[in-house]
Every structure is written in C-alpha cells, then in structure tokens.
C-alpha cells in the first residue's frame, strides 16, 4: 500500500542548480529522489512547496513523496540524510500523512527572508549566505518604499521573463525591512510568488536604500507593468525559503 510522507527540508543552495531537476547539474529534487532509490530501490517523485533558484537556501522547504516499501517515517528521514551526503541537504522532520496532502497545492503561504550584510568589509563567515552591500543603505527608506508593493498588485515588473505563472497578479501580505546592526533582513510573505519576484523586489529596494530611487520610482515601476522598468535582482545567496504554511 502506498504511504505518503511529508518532510521539512533544509539546504544550502550553493552547490546546487536549484530545487527543480535540471539537465545541467544536481538539484535538491534529484538528490532526494536518488537518496530514496538508494534506500529502498523505488523511483519516486519529490513534490515541493515551491521551486527555489540555483544558490537559494531553504530553512523550511516542505516536500512529499509516496513509498510502497513498508517502513517508518523515522527510517525514511535517517535514510535520506545518510544517502544524500555529501550534498548540503538535510531532512529536519518526517511524518506519514494522508494521500490528501500535497506539498505544492496545499500550501497557503510561503515565507522568504532575504539577508543583506551592509558594511564596507568583505564577508568571511557569512560568505555565500548573504548579499554583501558595501554602500550604506537607509533601511527605513527601504521599508517605507516596500509598503508600496504590499497588497494585490500586477507584479509584471518584478517577474522573470521565464516566469510560467498564468497571471502576474499576486497578493503580497508582508514586505518588512528590518535592520539589526550591519544585517538587513527583508521578510516577504505571500500565498505564492512569481519567478524572481523576491529577488527583484530586493534589488529595487536596494536602489532605494542607497538613494538612487525614491518611493515614487517604485510606484512608477510597479505601475509600468514592464520588466524593463526594473532595476535588477538581488543575488541568490541572500535568499532563504523560511517556511511553507499549510491549513493545519
């Protein structure tokens, strides 16, 4: 009998081509699928709450798989963590769930955090884990401008040309910019995001932070509904998928 397992997965996106299978390198999806096959011989399909780009990290990606093999959630977690080595992917928890659960379709919100380290000196301990911005940023101005983007909006300007979503209209529930010393965290929450949306918004807010753009420029860019009206994307290594939220 088929049993569905739901897992929370953490990964360092650095050495991988992203969550989704690609022909040009190892993905989180492929790594976990191969670990499961090494464990029990089954060829499974991993479904995730959302795709993350190459280099993007996750603290709480949620996935599910179906297994025919008689086993326990504890053994599934241990086996994947064992066989996925040395890739920086780690199953934090695993539970047997009903066939009704779907990691992608049931998620009602995704929470992302984007970390900027704002200081002149290069990064060492945080290298690969944040965007290093040496010019001083005004985090309060960034937060103020960010509120322009909160709500129901057509995010065409903040969308990758490769985005496959049917509609560019999304509801952004939260976009807070918070400074703690040299660290600036940007917290983004929505039911779902367009491809590159968080990194596009962060790239734009960085322009505001350094005084190159005003809040009005952000309003104009949003209203332009034109990708070419955008500044640029923040690099992937600052982005973390923090959690996926489900009705339970």
The residues assigned a catalytic role are: 53
Stretch that binds a second copy, among 61-69, 85-93, 141-149, 189-197 (CB under 8 A): 85-93
User: Which of 4, 6, 51, 57 contacts a second copy by CB under 8 A?
Assistant: 57
Q: How far is the CB of 12 from a second copy (least distance, A)?
A: 5
User: Which of 24, 98, 124, 167 contacts a second copy by CB under 8 A?
Assistant: 124
63 binds a second copy (CB under 8 A): no
User: Which of 12, 83, 102, 179 contacts a second copy by CB under 8 A?
Assistant: 12
What's the token pair of residue 145? 């401008």
Distance CA 221, CA 153 (A): 12
Q: How far is the CB of 192 from a second copy (least distance, A)?
A: 24
Distance CA 153, CA 222 (A): 8
59 binds a second copy (CB under 8 A): yes
Nearer to a second copy among residue 179 and residue 215 (C-beta): 179
90 binds a second copy (CB under 8 A): yes
Binding footprint of a second copy on the chain (CB under 8 A): 10-12, 57, 59, 77, 81, 85, 88-93, 119-125, 127, 129
């Amino acid at each position: 009998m088929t049993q569905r397992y739901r897992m929370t997965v953490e990964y360092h996106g650095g050495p991988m081509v992203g969550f989704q299978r690609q022909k040009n390198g190892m993905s989180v999806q492929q790594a976990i699928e191969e670990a499961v096959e090494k464990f029990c011989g089954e060829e499974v399909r991993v479904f995730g709450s959302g795709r993350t780009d190459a280099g993007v990290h996750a603290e709480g990606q949620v996935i599910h798989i179906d297994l025919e093999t008689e086993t326990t959630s504890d053994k599934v977690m241990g086996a994947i963590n064992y066989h996925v080595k040395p890739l920086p992917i780690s199953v934090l928890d695993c539970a047997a769930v009903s066939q009704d659960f779907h990691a992608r379709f049931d998620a009602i919100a995704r929470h992302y955090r984007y970390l900027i380290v704002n200081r002149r000196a290069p990064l060492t301990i945080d290298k690969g884990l944040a965007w290093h911005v040496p010019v001083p940023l005004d985090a309060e101005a960034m937060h103020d401008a960010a509120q322009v983007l909160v709500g129901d909006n057509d995010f065409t300007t903040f969308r990758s040309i490769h985005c496959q979503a049917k509609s560019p209209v999304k509801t952004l529930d939260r976009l807070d910019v918070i400074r703690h010393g040299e660290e600036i965290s940007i917290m983004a929450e929505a039911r779902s995001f367009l491809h590159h949306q968080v990194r596009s918004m962060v790239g734009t807010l960085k322009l505001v932070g350094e005084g190159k753009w005003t809040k009005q420029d952000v309003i104009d860019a949003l209203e332009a509904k034109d990708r070419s009206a955008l500044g640029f994307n923040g690099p992937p290594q600052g982005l973390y998928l923090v959690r996926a939220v489900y009705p339970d």
